[in-house]
Structure 1
Amino acid sequence: MSENPSDLPALPERLPALAVLGITSPDQDDWARLRGLQYARLSESNWLRLSSHSIAAAVVVWVYASTVGLTALGVWLVALMGTLYLCHKCDSQLAGAETRKLTRTEFRNRSISITLLSLAWCVPLTLFAQQGTISDLLVLWTAISVMIVGLVLVVAAAPLGTVIFTVLTGLSVVFSSLVFGEFKAAAIAGFFIVVVLFGTVASARTYLTARIAEAGMAEKGEVVSLLLREFEDNKADWLWQIDTNRRIRSVSPRFSFALGKEPDALEGQPFLQLIAGDAWESGSFPPSLHELADKLKRRESFSNLIVKVVIGGQNRWWELSGTPILDERQTYLGFRGVGSDVTEQRESSDKIAYLARYDTLTGLPNRLMLNEALSDAMDYAKKWRTRCAFLMLDLDRFKAVNDSLGHLVGDQMLAQVSKRLKQLMGENAMCGRLGGDEFGIVIRDASDKRKVEELARNVIASLSMPYDISNNTLYVGASVGSAIGPRDGKTVEEIMRNADLALYRAKDEGGGEHCQYEPTLHAHAEERRKLEFSLRRALERDEFELHYQPVVDANDETVVSFEALVRWNSPEHGYVRPDKFISLAEDTRLIVPIGEWVLATACAEAVNWPPHVRVAVNVSGEQLIEPNFATTVVQALSDSGLPANRLEVEVTESIFLRDANVVRSALEQVMALGCTVALDDFGTGYSSLGYLRKLSFSTIKVDRSFVQGAAQGSAESLAIIRAVVAMADSLEMSTTAEGVENAEEAEMVRGLGCKKIQGYYFGRPMPVDEVQQVFARKGEVRARIA
C-alpha cells in the first residue's frame, strides 16, 4: 500500500556525496525515503545491463579463447551469469520503492550483489590477462570502460553500485598494467577511476533532484484533487467568475442558488449590480461593497473579504475570495474565486459582540466599554494637557422599589433612567451602566469645572422626576460622585475608585447630592474601617449563615440543586447587604476565609439532602488565585462526605480579568475532582467567549436582565437568549435562566430552550431548615445514619 502523498520527502538543502552514494544518512532528512525514489526504476534498465555485460563477456571469449581455454572461460561465464541473475533479482524487488522507504537490508543486498558481479569481472582483468598480452588487456578494458560510462549515464539511480564496479575493475586493470610494466596505462586507468567517481556523484545528484521534483509534482496534483473534492462536497461554498466587464460567467448551480435565480438568467449579468440591490440606484453602497469594487478595479487578489449584499430584498453577508484570471501572455481575462454565505455566523457574532459591550436591559454601554472610553479620555487629557471627568451615580431608594413592587418594575425603571440619561448626553459625554442601579458618565473634555457640576445637577434633577410604571407613580432620587483626571488619579482604576468614594459621601449626606472627590473623605473611610473591623470578627463570632435558593428542571419543575447565598447579621451594623460586605471582603481578601467557610458549610448541610440534589457555591476570583484552592475543595468534600459530583462551583465572567491562567488552572483542578463549574451573570460586564471554548463549563446562567427584557417583549433580549442557548447546546453545556418571577416567564424561558430555571417564582432564598421542610413535604428527606 502506498503512503500518503503528504509523507513524501522535501528536497534537502544540500545533497552530500556520501549521502547520495548511500554510505551515510543525515538525521535531519528522510534518506530512507529518498533511497526509495533513487532505486525504484532500476528494474527498467535490466535489459540494457544484461546486453552490455553480454557484449563485454563476448569480448572476453574472443580475446582469451586461445590462451585461457574453453573450460576456464565456461566456469567464468557460469559465475558471471549467476551474479547477473542475483543483481536482476535484487533490482526487480525494488520496483515500486518510490512509494515506501528502502530498508537497509534491501540496500545491503544490492550492494553485495554488485560487489560479487564486480569480482567476477576482476577475474579476466587479472588472471586471464596474465596469460595474454597488454594489447588483449587494453581491448578488454576498453569494452568495460564503455560499459561503465553507460552505467554512469543510464543507471544513475544506483551510484554506489557504479562506484563499486568501477573501483574494483579499475584497480584490477591498474594491477595488471603494473605487472606488464605499463605504468602509463596504469596511470590512465587510475585517472579514469577518479573521473568516473566524480561523474557518478554528479549524475546521481541530478537524477535524485529530478525524482524528488517529480514526486513533488505528483503530490501537489493529489493535494489539489483532494481540495477540489472537499470543496465540491462542502455545500456551503460556491464558485464565481466574472469577465473584464464584471459580468457573471460560467454560473455554478450553488452560486445561482445563492443569488436566488436560475443559472441561465444570471449569465452575462453585472455582478456588483446583482448583489447591491436597491443601493445600485441610489449609489449609497455599504463600505464592504466599495472595498470589493476597488479590489476588482485594481485587479488585486483578495481573501476572506466579508461583503454585505442584498439578495431578494434581504440583507445577507458573503465571505468572498478571488484572484485575477490571466492567460499565458499575462492578459487580464476577469476574476474567479469562491464564496460562502456567512449571514448566520455574522448575526451570531454581532449578538455576542453586543452582549460583550452593551447592557441589554438599558441599551447603554456596559462597564467594559465605559472603561475603554475613560481610558481614551485619560490619554486625550494627557496628550493635550486638559482634564477629563468620570461621574458615578447611584439611584436613591431603588432597593425599596425592587422589594415592594418586584424586579420587573425595577427593570422598567432602569430602562426609563437610561433614556433620561441618554437625553442629557452631548458629543462630549457618554453614559453607561456599571451594574445594578449604578451608572457611569465619561466626560472627555472637563477643562471647565462648571460643566461637570452642571451635568451632575441636571442628572440629579432629571432622575428625580416621577416615573409612571405599571399604573404606579414612583419617585427615586440620584446621588453623584465625580473625580477629575488626571488630578484625582493617574489610571482608570484610580479615577473610578475615587468617584466611587465621592458617591459614598453623597449618599451618606442623604442622597440627591453631587460630591467631588477630595483626599479627605474621612467619613466614608471611617465607616468602611468599622465595617471591615466587624467583618474580620464575623467568622469568629458565627455571624454568617447560608440561605439556599432552589433551581428546578425546566421540564418537570423538580428541584435539581440549590444555590448557597451567604447572609450577615452584624450586632454593630445590623443586616448588611451582601453586595456591600462581599465587595468589601474581596477588597480586603477576607473573601478567602469567608469563602472557605461557605464551601465547608454548604457541603456539610447538602450531604443531608436527597442524593440527586446538588449544591452550588459562588466562588470569588480572589479564592481562585489562591494556590491551595483545590485543596480547600477536597477538604470540604472529605469532611462532609458529599460526593464531588453534587458540588457545583459558580464563577462570574470578571474572574478572567486577572491572572486568567491561574484561574483556569484552578477550575480545571476542580473539574478533575468530579465537580462541575457554572458561569454566572453571563454577559453583564465582561467578555469571556474564548474561555467557553477552553473550559468545560457545565452550565451558563442567563442573567435575569435578559429574562426580564424578554418578558417585556424585547427582541434583542429574545435574540440574545436564543444565541446563548444555541451556543451552550453546541458546546454541550446546560443553561439556567435566572430571575423568573411568574408562570409566564417560566413558560417563556422553557420555550427558548433553557434547561433549568431559578427565581422567586419557584422559591426565595431560605434557611437550611426550610430546605429540609421542602424535602419533607415531598417525602425526599433521607434518613440520617447514626
Structure 2
Amino acid sequence: MLALLGLRDPDGGDWNRLRALQFSQVNQTARLRVVVHAVCASIAILLYAGQAPVALLASFAVALAAALHFTLRIDRLLSVDERPRITRAEINRKAAATATVALAWCIPVLAFTSFAGDTERAGTALLLAALIVGSTLALGVAPFITVVFGSITGLAMIASFLWFGQFGMAIAVAVLLVVVLIGVANVARIHMNACLAEAGNIEKSEVVSLLLREFEENQADWLWQVDVNRLVRSASPRFAFALGKSIEEVEGKPFLELISGEGWSTGQFSTSLHDLAERLKRRESFSNLLVKVFIGREQRWWELSGTPMLDDNGAYAGIRGVGSDVTEQRESSEKIAYLARYDTLTGLPNRLMLTEALGDALRYAEQWRTRCAFLMIDLDRFKSVNDSLGHQVGDKLLAQVSARLKEVLGDNEFCGRLGGDEFAIVIRDATDRSCIERVAKSVIARLSQPYEVDHHTLYVGASVGSAVGPRDGRTVEDLMRNGDLALYRAKDDGGGEHRGYEPALHANAEERRQLEFALRRALENREMELNFQPVVNAQSEEVVSFEALVRWNSPEHGPVRPDKFVPIAEDTRLIVPIGTWVMEQACREATNWPDHVRIAVNVSPEQLFEPDFASTVVQALTVSGLDAQRLELEVTESIFLRDASVARASLEQCLALGCTIALDDFGTGYSSLGYLRKLPFSTIKIDRSFVQGAAQSSKESLAIIRAVVAMADALEMTTTAEGVESAEEAELIRKLGCTKIQGYYFGRPMRAPDALQLFRRRQSDAPDRLRA
C-alpha cells in the first residue's frame, strides 16, 4: 500500500514506471476536475449567500481558483512528452498542489459554517463528500492524491461538526473517510494490474509487429495460409514471388496445384508432396517439412511449417505457416554427401562406401552361410606415367581405368577406388570359387590393354590380391588387410598376376613388422657391422678395391639376410641413417689399406634424394681423412626412375669432390643407354646372372657381356664381372675382356681385420691365399 501511495520504493521493481502508468489517466481528467470543483464552489457560495460576508465568499473563490490553476500547471509538467517514468519528488509536488485545493475547501467548512445553521453545514459536508467520492472514482488510480484531499477536507469537517456538537455527523464523516481509503486502495490495485496487463500487451504487440516486419523483409522466408478447402488465402508478396506469380494469380488457388507443376494434371506427385497433402488433410501442425515442389518446370526444395487456425467459435479455419526455399542448401548437402561417399576423379564409390559394401556382404554371407570376396587392385607401372608425363595425364588415365572396371563387372560385383592407383571390388556372393578367378583375370586383361591419353599410348597392367570372407576374415578390417597382403604377393611375383590370401602371408607380414621394429634400434644397439668383399684386377689378380657390405646380427632374430632387411629399411627410410653409418665406417676402415685400394659403397635411391646427400659424403671423407678419389659410389639404374634430375644433381656434386661412380647390376633393371651418356660412370658392373649364363655357354649372356665390354671400352669405363666362383669362370671373363672380377673364387665378404690381413702377405702368392 505504501508503494502504491508512492511513500516507498520496494526492491525488485521499476516503481517510477508504475507511477507513470498511475498518472497517465489523472492527466486526462484534469479539465473535468476543474469544472466539477467550480460547480461545487458555486453551489457552496449560493448556499451561504446573504449569510457569510461577501469578502469571505470572494476570498474562497479566489483561493480555490488559484489552487486549481496551480494544480493544472503541475499536471501539464507531468504530461510533457508522455514520460514513461515519474519520480517520487514529482508525486510529492502533485500532492502539494492537491493539498492547496483541499485547504481552499477548508474555508467554507471552517469559516462559512459559523454564519449558518445545521442545514448549511450539512450541505457543505454533502458537497465535500461528493468531491471526495468523485476523487476516489476519478483519481483512485493515483491514491496518494485522493488520500491527501480526503484527509484534509475530512478532518476539517470532523473538526467543524465536533465544534458545533454534531457528533453523529462527525462519526459519519469518519466512516466515510475509512470507506474511501479502502476503496482507493482497491481501485488503485485493480487499475495498476490493468495498466500492467495493457502495457504488456502493447509491448508484445510491438515485438510481434517488429518480428513480422523483419520476417517479411527476409528474402528467404515467407508466410502462407490456406483455408478449410486448402485454397490460398491472404497471400504475402514473398509467397507469390516464390511461386513466380502475382498475388492475384495466387489468391484463391489450390495450394497443391501451385506447387506440384505438371504433376497436378498427371497425378504423379513426389513422396514429399503426398506427405504434405496428408498433413493438410488431417489438419495437423507440422514443422520443417522438406517438400520437393515444381515451380513451372523447375524443381525446387521448400521447407514448410504450419499450424491450424481456429475462428472465434473454436472451429477449424485453415492452416497458417511459414516457408523458405532451401534448394541451394539441399544441393549443397547432397554434394557434400556425394563427396563423402564417392571419388570425385573417377566417380566410383570411395573407401567409405567400399567398407560399407564389404560389411553388408559379410553380414549376408554369415546369415545365409555363403561366401563373399574382397579384391584389391593395384596398377603396375602407373608411377612411371605420373613421373614422366605428369599428374594430369595420370588422372585421365585413372578415369579410363575406372570406366573399364565398370565394363567388366556385373550386378554381383561392387567396385570402388581406395586412393591413388588402388581400386577394390566387393563380390557379394562368391560361393562359386571360380568367380573370383574369373573376375580377377577379366580385370587384369582389360586393364592391361593400351590406353590413349592426350596423344600418348600408355601401357599399364594390374595386380590383384583377393581374400574370401568369412574364411580369411570375419571383419571388414581383417578382409581388407588380408587382401592387401595378397596384393603385395602378386606385386612381388612381378605384377600382372592374381594371388589369393594364404595364412603364410600374414606370418610373413608379422615377421616383417617385427623386423622393422628391431631394425629401428639396430644402429643404436650397435647390431650392424661391415663386411668387405675384394675386387681384383682381371689380369694380375691384385686387389684393387673392396665393396662394403652391411650385415645385421639381431639378438632377437639372429643373422638377418640383407635381402630381407634392406627392402624394409628402404620402405621405412631407415636406409638413410644406415647408409650414412655405412659410408662413415667404410671410409674410416679404408684409411688402413694401401693408397691404391678403393672402397665401394652402395648408395640407395632414398639416400640420393636426400637434399644433404653430398654433405653426408663430405662429412664421411672429412672425419676419416680418406682421399675422395678412393671412394666409389655404387648405384643401380632404379635411381633414375623417380626423378633423374635430382639423382643426377646429387651424383654430379659427388663427382666434383673427386669420387667415382659405378653402375651396379647393369642390364637387369630399367636400362637406358642415355644414362651412360649423361653421367660419367667410372665402372659398369655386370650382374652375376650374365656371368653364370656365359659359363653355361648361353649365347645371349655371352653376347650381352661382349656388348657391355665393347661399350665400356668405347666410353673409357672399366667393367667388373660379379659372381665369379670358379677358375673356369675367371678365365672366361678374362677372355671376354672384363677389367675387374668380383666373386667367391677370389674372396668372400670378410670382416675388417681379415681384409687388412690380405695386404700383409706376399703379392706373389696372393691368388692362392685369396682362394683360401
Q: Give the TM-score band, short-chain normalised.
A: 0.5 to 0.7
* C-alpha contact (below 8 Å) 2:373/2:436 kept by paired residues: no
Partner of 1:347: 331
How far apart, in 2, do the equivalents of 1:19 and 1:483 lie?
85
Partner of 1:573: 569
TM-aligned CA distance change 1:464 to 1:49, over 3 Å: same
Partner of 2:27: 43
Matched position secondary structure for 1:359 = coil
Letter of the 1:395 counterpart: D
* C-alpha contact (below 8 Å) 2:463/2:490 kept by paired residues: no
* C-alpha contact (below 8 Å) 1:457/1:514 kept by paired residues: no
Partner of 1:201: 185
Matched position secondary structure for 1:317 = strand
Q: 2:459 matched to 1:473?
A: yes
Partner of 1:522: 510
TM-aligned CA distance change 1:90 to 1:519, over 3 Å: farther
Q: Which of 145, 150, 163 matches 1:166?
A: 150
How far apart, in 2, do the equivalents of 1:204 and 1:478 lie?
93
Matched position secondary structure for 2:275 = helix
For residue 292 of structure 1, report the CA deviation from its aligned partner: 2.2
How far apart, in 2, do the equivalents of 1:64 and 1:386 lie?
122
How far apart, in 1, do the equivalents of 2:113 and 2:15 lie?
41
* C-alpha contact (below 8 Å) 1:241/1:335 kept by paired residues: yes
TM-aligned CA distance change 1:90 to 1:304, over 3 Å: farther
Give deviations 1:106-142, integer Å, cap 9, x for gaps.
3343233334444555566568778987776554343
How far apart, in 2, do the equivalents of 1:151 and 1:113 lie?
14
Q: Which of 375, 378, 395 matches 2:378?
A: 395
Letter of the 2:510 counterpart: H
How far apart, in 1, do the equivalents of 2:156 and 2:373 lie?
99
Letter of the 2:378 counterpart: L
1:524-539 matches, cutoff 5 A: 525-527=513-515, 529=517
Letter of the 2:276 counterpart: L
Q: Which of 91, 101, 114 matches 2:85?
A: 101
Give deviations 1:161-203, integer Å, cap 9, x for gaps.
1233334444455555666676665554444333323322322
Give deviations 1:315-362, integer Å, cap 9, x for gaps.
233444556676655666666666555434433343234334443224
TM-aligned CA distance change 1:97 to 1:502, over 3 Å: farther
How far apart, in 2, do the equivalents of 1:324 and 1:153 lie?
44
1:134-153 matches, cutoff 5 A: 138-153=122-137
* C-alpha contact (below 8 Å) 1:460/1:513 kept by paired residues: no
1:362-761 matches, cutoff 5 A: 362-366=346-350, 393=376, 395=378, 397=380, 399-412=383-396, 414-415=398-399, 435-437=419-421, 464-467=444-447, 468-470=450-452, 471-479=457-465, 496=477, 502=482, 505-506=485-486, 509=489, 511=491, 512-514=499-501, 522-523=510-511, 525-527=513-515, 529=517, 573-574=569-570
Partner of 1:567: none
Matched position secondary structure for 1:477 = strand
Partner of 1:299: 283
* C-alpha contact (below 8 Å) 1:134/1:177 kept by paired residues: no
Say which structure, 1 or 2, has more relative contact order (CA 8 Å, 6+ apart).
Answer: 1
* C-alpha contact (below 8 Å) 1:249/1:267 kept by paired residues: yes
Give deviations 1:243-290, integer Å, cap 9, x for gaps.
655556787777666556677777776553453334345533211211
How far apart, in 2, do the equivalents of 1:424 and 1:195 lie?
104
Letter of the 2:22 counterpart: Q
Letter of the 1:472 counterpart: L
Partner of 1:697: none
Q: 2:73 matched to 1:89?
A: yes
How far apart, in 2, do the equivalents of 1:359 and 1:275 lie?
35
For residue 96 of structure 1, report the CA deviation from its aligned partner: 6.2
Matched position secondary structure for 2:290 = strand
For residue 92 of structure 1, report the CA deviation from its aligned partner: 1.8
* The 10-residue stretch of structure 1 (40-49 or 279-288) with the greater mean CA deviation from structure 2: 279-288
Identity, in percent, stands at 43
How far apart, in 2, do the equivalents of 1:85 and 1:519 lie?
112
Give deviations 1:698-750, integer Å, cap 9, x for gaps.
xxxxxxxxxxxxxxxxxxxxxxxxxxxxxxxxxxxxxxxxxxxxxxxxxxxxx
TM-aligned CA distance change 1:501 to 1:354, over 3 Å: closer
Matched position secondary structure for 2:459 = strand
* C-alpha contact (below 8 Å) 2:289/2:303 kept by paired residues: yes
Partner of 2:707: none
Matched position secondary structure for 1:293 = helix
* C-alpha contact (below 8 Å) 1:36/1:97 kept by paired residues: no
Letter of the 1:573 counterpart: A
How far apart, in 2, do the equivalents of 1:133 and 1:56 lie?
19
* C-alpha contact (below 8 Å) 2:379/2:422 kept by paired residues: no
* C-alpha contact (below 8 Å) 1:504/1:524 kept by paired residues: no
Letter of the 1:290 counterpart: H
Partner of 2:295: 311
The runs of 5 or more residues in structure 1 that have no matched partner are 1-16, 490-494, 538-569, 579-600, 602-759, 768-786
How far apart, in 2, do the equivalents of 1:376 and 1:118 lie?
96
TM-aligned CA distance change 1:245 to 1:59, over 3 Å: closer
Partner of 1:288: 272
For residue 87 of structure 1, report the CA deviation from its aligned partner: 2.0
Partner of 1:272: 256
For residue 504 of structure 1, report the CA deviation from its aligned partner: 6.4
The runs of 5 or more residues in structure 2 that have no matched partner are 492-498, 526-565, 575-610, 612-642, 650-772
TM-aligned CA distance change 1:100 to 1:457, over 3 Å: farther
For residue 304 of structure 1, report the CA deviation from its aligned partner: 4.9
Aligned residues: 526
Matched position secondary structure for 1:41 = helix
* C-alpha contact (below 8 Å) 1:466/1:476 kept by paired residues: no
Give deviations 1:7-51, integer Å, cap 9, x for gaps.
xxxxxxxxxx44444445555554433433332232321122223
TM-aligned CA distance change 1:571 to 1:451, over 3 Å: closer
How far apart, in 2, do the equivalents of 1:373 and 1:193 lie?
92
* C-alpha contact (below 8 Å) 2:20/2:83 kept by paired residues: yes
- Which structure would you say has the larger Rg? 2
Letter of the 1:283 counterpart: G
* Coordinate RMSD, CA, aligned: 5.8
For residue 84 of structure 1, report the CA deviation from its aligned partner: 2.4
TM-aligned CA distance change 1:402 to 1:254, over 3 Å: same
Letter of the 2:461 counterpart: Y
For residue 149 of structure 1, report the CA deviation from its aligned partner: 1.7
Partner of 1:12: none
* C-alpha contact (below 8 Å) 1:370/1:442 kept by paired residues: yes
